Amino acid sequence: MREVNYFVACSLDGFIARMDESFDWLFADDDYGFAEFYRSVDCVVMGRKTFDVALNFVEYPYPGKRAYVFSRHKAESPIAEAEFVSEDPARFVKKLKLQPGGRIWVVGGGEIAAALLQAGLVDEMVLTIHPITLGQGVPLFERHGVETRWSVYSTRSYQNGLVQITYRKRVAEVAP
């Protein structure tokens, strides 16, 4: 079964972007393992707001990857590799996990991440924590009302203060 990964950068106070959805505060001096991760990804899933931000980049940031964009409104995508999906994100990703392929990357957007967490579909989170507090912004997760437990798989700290923590979903313990 395919894995669902939430690989994301955030501030110390849990924001992934400023209120205006900018992320000029992110360190750009290294890729912090992103290139290796990206090679393992087969497709990306994101919300419409995240997709709209991606369209403002000089180049589309997910070349060579199939993208599924969750939107309440049907529309044609301006990117051939991207498809708009009006189905419930959890139901769609559950089916996607059963198909052959590589990792499924939850790109940005705390709403989709929260929906997938609530459904128990996220297998791994890689949080790249930048040593800055923003005070307000787009949260790492929207409220999702479900407690989940995670185990630290790996940690890496950098001279510039950035810390990257990989968490794996805890497997439910089986009673004897």
Ranges of each domain in the chain: 6-14+26-124+133-148
Write down the pLDDT at residue 175: 46
CA-CA distance, 111 to 140, in Å (whole number)? Answer: 9
Write down the pLDDT at residue 148: 87
Q: Could you read off the pLDDT of 62-75 as tens digits, one per residue?
A: 999 999 999 988 77
Q: What is the DSSP letter of 67?
A: E
Cβ proximity of 4 and 125 under 8 Å: no
Q: Could you read off the pLDDT of 100-115 as tens digits, one per residue?
A: 999 999 997 778 998 9
pLDDT for 122 beyond 50: yes
What's the mean pLDDT when you consider all of the chain? 90
CA-CA distance, 34 to 18, in Å (whole number)? Answer: 21
Instruction: Give backbone dihedrals phi and psi of 170, rounded to 5 degrees, phi first.
Output: -70, 135
What single letter denotes the amino acid at residue 89?
A: P
CATH fold for domain 6-14+26-124+133-148: Dihydrofolate Reductase, subunit A (3.40.430)
Instruction: Give backbone dihedrals phi and psi of 165, rounded to 5 degrees, phi first.
Output: -120, 130
Mean pLDDT confidence for 23-45: 91
